[in-house]
A and B are shown apart, each in its own frame.
Chain A
Amino acid sequence: MSTQDTLASRRRALGAVIGLFVLFGALATGFFRVQVLASSTYKLRADENRLRRLDVAAPRGTVYDRNGLIIADNVPGYTVTILPASYDSVIATVKELRPYLPLSDLQVSRLEARLRLYPRQPLVVTMDAGLEAATALVERRTEFPNVYVEMRPQRRYVDGPAVAHVLGYIGEITAEELADPAFPPEDYEQGMIIGRTGVEREYDAILQGEAGVRFVEVDALGRIVGDFAGSTFRASVAGGDLRLTVDFELQQWIHSIFPDDKMGAVVAIDPADGGVLALYSAPTFDPNEFVSGVDPGLWETLNTDSSKPLYNRAVLGLYAPASTWKLAAAAIGLELGVISADDHMPIPCSGGMTYGNRFWRCWRPGGHGPLDLAGAIQHSCDVWFYQLGMRIGLERLLRQATDVGFSRPCGIDLPEEEEGVFPAGPEFWEERFGYTPTEGEALSLAIGQGPNSQTPLKMAQFYTALARDGSAPAPSLFLGRTDEPEGWSLNVDAEDLEALRQGLRQVTGPGGTAYMSSLEHWDLIGKTGTSQNPLSLQGLAEDHAWFTAVAGPPGRDPEVVVAVLVEHGGGGSAVAAPIAAKTADFYLRRKYNIPVDTIQTLREHLLVGRSFTPLSLRQSATP
């Protein structure tokens, strides 16, 4: 047993105590840095660890019609979401959910694709789980600790097919759209439901609202702990409501009277302000099918169907305007002073005329004889309008019609609109067809044929100008529209306008082509059109049928303009005119509280053995 050297021990002990001070001082400093200096960073990290951010969907704004009827609103739908975790574990959960949710193999593979694209986002499995499935999942919470079931407002269209082409449809934002500067990242993010077409798209910024934020607490394996409902951090802000100029019941009425087997479009405009009363394209589709993600089979059908149900013919369909355009030629002639209202053309109609080295036929082989402007419009006499075209001359015709705006879009507040096709000058033929046009082209254009294609909406706007003072505002769907798009102006004085309207009045008067479509209570004037098209020229199908109508109470300013196009409908008077007349009648009857009757046109009255004295006759009886 050897004793310790006391002095040496004391010195070594002192050294050890100093060492202890240094070491523990260093440790305390280290903890001070992490716990005091960097504490806020780590607090944030701890919250990020245990809290998962979930969006609280905002209900889209309600869409009302001009009378305050609801066109689109929201109903509760159950959304099933899987919280982010490893790819394998999320997919395993999807498979475990299949007994409760009807998920097709295709849907599962789409979910897999989406998960690969956005691995750190909550995966929305379905937005349309039924109440039963939702209840079952909530009851089995312990089996599905990473599954979140919530009620989200879901879009509902009251009568989807009737308004499909006005409202459009909604869908989840795509990866391409997210990369598009039109969808700024501060407003749009993955998983958002946005308007894809129509008003839903055009006014998405108003309808969208602002998603809220909710947090749920999770553990390290991503399982929800604590309150299943989570805590709301920021409430969602509901989207703004829209009141449209559209008359919902008129839309439904048009949907009910438009022939089921026909394609085409109907546009009704209030001439007072250019508000669109109805905009319908046939065939149609049901936007409700898109609300919780369109079924891939249906999507395929809608896109491959030869009748193109998703195609909005009213604003995108381009058709030769045919005789409905004769009014434009006449207006240009009056404006240039090459004709006056009671001029007769030098060559009376004998079924056609010779110009250049070719014989130009009138649609009526027997001829119309000598006609004034009104008579020429009433009978839609081609020979009269050929001579008008000759008088105006090709160059002036092209310039005037272009100035008026036949190759411009109307400016409607929809995301897509096709502008009319009309040559601005002779170079149009050179570029497109490779030849210099002759004066003969003016003859074709004057009767609405030739390289002239217009949308039903454009023709409605043109007739709105005729119904007013020669000018027409841009058609609008939203009552609170703030931008002021350029309107349309014909530069025709009041006297000449009245002469044009007189011609239109005779169309629906006795002896006119659309007399059978005249109405009991209303002054209905209009113009038929029969538009040749590639199929009809080969004799494979009928011509397209046009009717553009202007109507209102007798002796008052017109209150509704209707343009109807029926593809391959044959003559304008037979198919298109009754639709236009019945549309105008329905709108005006409801406006003036006259009970709506399905027997509306003169033809319908005669068929059921009733009759009325057309207004045109009553008026001429009392000059």
Chain B
Amino acid sequence: MFGLLQRWVVDGRFVSSLFLLSLFGVAMVYSAGAINTPDPVVTEAWRRQALWLAIAVVGFTVVSRIQLRWWEWSATPAYVFALVLLAATLVIGTGGTGTAEGTRSWIDLGLVRFQPSEFAKIATVLALARFLSTKDQPPNGLRDLLAPSFLVAVPLCLLILQGDLGSGMAFVGLLFAMLYWARTPLLLLLFVMSPVFGLVLTFDTLVWSAYIGVLLLVLYLYRYRLFLYESAAVFVANVAAGAIAAPLWHSLRPHQQNRLLVFLDPTVDPRGAGYNLMQSKVAIGSGGLTGKGFLQGTQKRFDFLPEQHTDFVFSVIGEELGFLGVVLTLLLLAYILYRLVRMAEGANDAFAGLVVFGTFGVWLVHICINTGMTMGMFPITGIPLPFVSYGGSFLLACWLAAGMAARLAHEE
């Protein structure tokens, strides 16, 4: 009997943690619906979330039966299909709700709506894992990173065209996570990331100049480990990043610009984009050490808290369960991520390890940005908290990814 259960869940500690987190998520979605002015969409959300959880567990069971060779075989077609779906979304996609408003990232099938980006994340992880696992040597130069970056850049560009910055971050996360797992030298990864720093630091000419100076110094110190063209490329990319900063800023949509500005100073726009962050901070801060009690959050109850069942469900946790509840939730989330690391480490197969660690990268970005944005550590991005935020197709996608990771990690 126990053995049967063990076989079903594949990885006991991992899956039971996920199941606990999902149940906790349903409870918090239920609490998020305990509001003063009943809104059936929010009040009844927990029932649908519970139903989706059941579906997701079935999905997990099915997916975790699929053998490694099938995953490997399906990587390329899945990736191509994902690109087609993302492209189609640009044409037939609809807007999201709440903080995801102003985007065009959903496909409405009538009965259900889903975000192709969720599927694309899994497909891209598979495709990238397949690509990296076929190499005998780890990437050892910028040239080796071109193909992997391109694999991720295509869906990323499609997402940016949709206006879905949050999912885009997840793709950046999976790219770096998997390159890291593929034993890319850390210095190389830093050089790849450096144009992003260059982009951000352009707000002050002096700071940017100092940064370029430091960059040149590092390139000089490591001149024997890099090819000349690599040094030149890194330098040119950084300068180019500085040059395109202004046009790039202006190409952002107003709601994206606002979110970045508000991140820097929430009082910039207290009635508009800053409002969500302020109210979220008030909710979390007023929870104090032990919280106001389950269902008792006033910020949530009286509608001050936006999107309290989706993107800001963590604010409800902070308000009602306090710092202790937050820490416990963070510990559970960290444990799940830790399990993924250990599963990747224990995988016998390079492809399997890469897939598991890619999943780790996706979830890490989701968890850090989602929890961090509720108290102003990250800009507000329409990005849900895995297993907790309300959203049927997202919950399903998370459980499917979990099934895939669990299966691949334990493939003999």
Chain A interface (Cβ < 8 Å from any Cβ of B): 1-5, 8-10, 12-13, 15-17, 20, 23-24, 26-28, 30-32, 34-36, 38-39, 41-43, 45-47, 49-50, 217-221, 223, 225
Contacts and interface: CB of A to CB of B under 8 A. Distances in A.
A244 B360 CA distance: 85
Contact of B334 (A2, A8, A24, A47): A24
Given A43-B288, A49-B302, A225 B36 contact: yes
Given A12-B183, A27-B368, A218-B302, A36 B289 contact: yes
A223 B36 CA distance: 10
A17 B349 contact: no
Given A4-B353, A27-B371, A219-B36, A35 B302 contact: no
A219 B326 CA distance: 25
A42 to B, nearest CB: 2
Nearest to A46: B286
B313 interface: no
A560 B351 CA distance: 115
B351 A2 contact: yes
B282 A42 contact: yes
B284 A2 contact: no
Contact of B302 (A1, A9, A20, A225): A225
B286 A31 contact: no
A221 B37 CA distance: 10
Given A2-B350, A3-B349, 14 more contacts: A3-B348, A4-B350, A5-B350, A9-B347, A13-B342, A23-B364, A27-B330, A30-B377, A34-B318, A42-B284, A45-B282, A46-B299, A219-B37, A220-B302
A49 B282 contact: yes
Given A12-B183, A27-B368, A50-B304, A4 B285 contact: no
Nearest to B290: A35
Nearest to B37: A219
A143 to B, nearest CB: 14
A45 B277 CA distance: 13
B375 A30 contact: yes
A34 B304 contact: no
A22 B287 CA distance: 24
Contacts of B345: 9-10, 12-13
Contacts of A38: 285
Given A4-B348, A20-B334, A34 B284 contact: yes
Residue of B36, B279, B285 most packed against chain A (CB within 10 A): B285
Contacts of B303: 219-221
Q: Interface on chain B toward A: helix, strand, loop, or mixed SS?
A: helix
Interface string B319-343: 0001100110010011001100110
B342 A35 contact: no
Interface string B174-208: 00000011010000000000000000000000000
A35 B323 contact: yes
A20 B337 contact: yes
A12 B186 CA distance: 11
Nearest to B35: A219
Nearest to B186: A15
Contact of B288 (A13, A39, A225): A39
Contacts of A36: 288-289, 323
Interface in B287-304: 287-289, 298-299, 301-304
B304 A35 contact: no
Interface of B: 36-37, 68-69, 72, 133-134, 136, 180-181, 183, 279, 281-289, 298-299, 301-304, 318, 322-323, 326-327, 330, 333-334, 337-338, 341-342, 344-345, 347-353, 357, 360, 364, 368, 371-372, 375, 377
Contacts of B281: 34, 42
Nearest to B183: A8
A35 to B, nearest CB: 4
A43 B286 contact: yes
B349 A34 contact: no
17 contacts: A2-B133, A2-B136, A4-B353, A10-B345, A13-B344, A16-B357, A17-B338, A20-B334, A20-B338, A24-B330, A31-B284, A35-B322, A39-B287, A45-B286, A46-B285, A46-B298, A220-B302
Nearest to A44: B286
B118 to A, nearest CB: 23
Nearest to B287: A35
Contact of A20 (B287, B341, B352): B341
Residue from B301, B302, B351 whose CB has the most chain A CB atoms within 10 Å: B302
B183 A23 contact: no
Contacts of A1: 68-69, 72, 349, 351
A275 B211 CA distance: 87
A573 B342 CA distance: 117
Contact of B341 (A17, A26, A218): A17
A3 B350 CA distance: 5
Nearest to B368: A23
A184 B14 CA distance: 67
A345 B282 CA distance: 94
A376 B232 CA distance: 124
A10 B353 CA distance: 12
A495 B353 CA distance: 126
A37 to B, nearest CB: 9
Nearest to B343: A13
Pick the 5 closest A-B CB pairs, nearest first. Answer: A42-B285, A46-B286, A220-B303, A219-B302, A13-B345
Contacts of B353: 4, 9
A203 B272 CA distance: 48
A45 B285 contact: yes
Contacts of B285: 34-35, 38-39, 41-43, 45-46
A457 B337 CA distance: 92
A322 B37 CA distance: 77
B372 A16 contact: no
Nearest to B138: A8
Contacts of B284: 31, 34-35, 42
Nearest to A221: B303
A8 B330 CA distance: 28
A15 to B, nearest CB: 8
B337 A50 contact: no
**Quick one: which of B183, B282, B323, B330 has the most chain A CB within 10 A?**
B282
B37 A223 contact: yes
B35 to A, nearest CB: 8
Contacts of B338: 17, 20
A49 B337 CA distance: 37
B303 to A, nearest CB: 4
A477 to B, nearest CB: 51
A9 B334 CA distance: 20
A5 B371 CA distance: 34
A4 B347 contact: yes
A5 B183 contact: yes
Contacts of B288: 35-36, 39, 43
B88 to A, nearest CB: 34
A3 B348 CA distance: 6
Greatest chain A CB density within 10 A among B68, B134, B337 is at B337
Contacts of B133: 2
Given A45-B282, A217-B302, A32 B323 contact: yes
A192 to B, nearest CB: 29
A235 B340 CA distance: 60
Contacts of A39: 285-289
Contacts of A31: 284, 318, 323, 326-327, 330, 375
Contacts of B372: 27, 30
A223 B37 CA distance: 10
B341 A16 contact: yes
Contacts of B334: 20, 24
A316 to B, nearest CB: 52
Contacts of A23: 364, 368
Contacts of A13: 341-342, 344-345
Given A2-B133, A36-B288, A225-B36, A50 B298 contact: yes
A31 to B, nearest CB: 5
Contacts of A34: 281, 284-285, 318, 375
